[in-house]
Amino acid sequence: MNHWLMKTEPDEFSIDALAKKKVEPWSGVRNYQARNYLREMRVGDGVLFYHSSCEVPGIVGIATVASAAHPDPTQFDPASDYFDAKSSQAAPRWSLVDVKFKRKLKRVITLTELKAHRELKDLILIRPGNRLSVLPVSKAHWDFILDLE
C-alpha cells in the first residue's frame, strides 16, 4: 500500500463535503507531475486530506483511493473550467481517481506544526516552492503524522 497527500481548498471541496458524498472523483488536476502520481495510485492506498489556501492550512482527514486512475471527463467538456482542447478520447491527457472518505482527524495537524518536526524535513509538502496538489508520502512520514493526532 502506498500513501499520498491530496490538497484541496475547503471552500471548493472540504473534508466535510467528502464525508457527505462518501466517494468523489478527484477531477481537475492539470499538472503533469500530479497527474503521474494519480496514475501510480492503487485501490486501497491511504490519502491524507489537506486543506490549503485557508486560514489554517493542515491535514484534516484520511481517505482511501477507491478506483484505479482513469480519464478525467472534465478534459472533454467545453463547458468545464478544466476543458483541454488538445486532449482526445483516443489519447486523454488527464486522469483522476475516486477518493473515499475514511474519517476526519480529531484535530487539524497544521502546516506550521508539520514544519516544526525535524522528522518531517523531507516531506514534499513542506519543501519551498512545492505547489503540487497530489504528493507521495512515505510510510514513515504517514505514521509520524498520524501519531501527532
Average pLDDT over residues 130-136: 92
Q: Could you list the residue range(s) of the whole structural domain that residue 54 is in? A: 3-148
Average pLDDT over residues 105-124: 96
Q: For the chain, give the mean pLDDT.
A: 96
- Condensed to tens digits (0 to 9), the pLDDT of residues 38-79 reads 999 999 999 999 999 999 999 999 999 999 999 999 999 999
pLDDT of residue 50: 98
Q: Is the pLDDT of residue 1 over 90?
A: no
**The cell 510510510 sits on which residue?**
139
Q: CA–CA separation, 52 vs 39, rounded Å?
A: 22
pLDDT of residue 135: 96
Average pLDDT over residues 25-43: 97
The CATH number linked to 55 is 3.10.590.10
Enter the pTM of the model: 0.94
Rg from Cα positions in the chain: 15
Residues 109 and 59: beta-carbon distance below 8 Å: yes
Q: What angle do CA 71, 84, 54 make, to 5 degrees?
A: 85
Residues 138 and 144: beta-carbon distance below 8 Å: no
pLDDT of residue 131: 86
Residue 68 CB neighbour total at 10 angstroms: 13
Q: CA–CA separation, 99 vs 133, rounded Å?
A: 14
Q: Is the pLDDT of residue 130 over 90?
A: no
Burial of 71 (0-12, 13-18, 19+ CB in 10 A): middle
Average pLDDT over residues 4-16: 97
Q: How many domains does the chain have?
A: 1
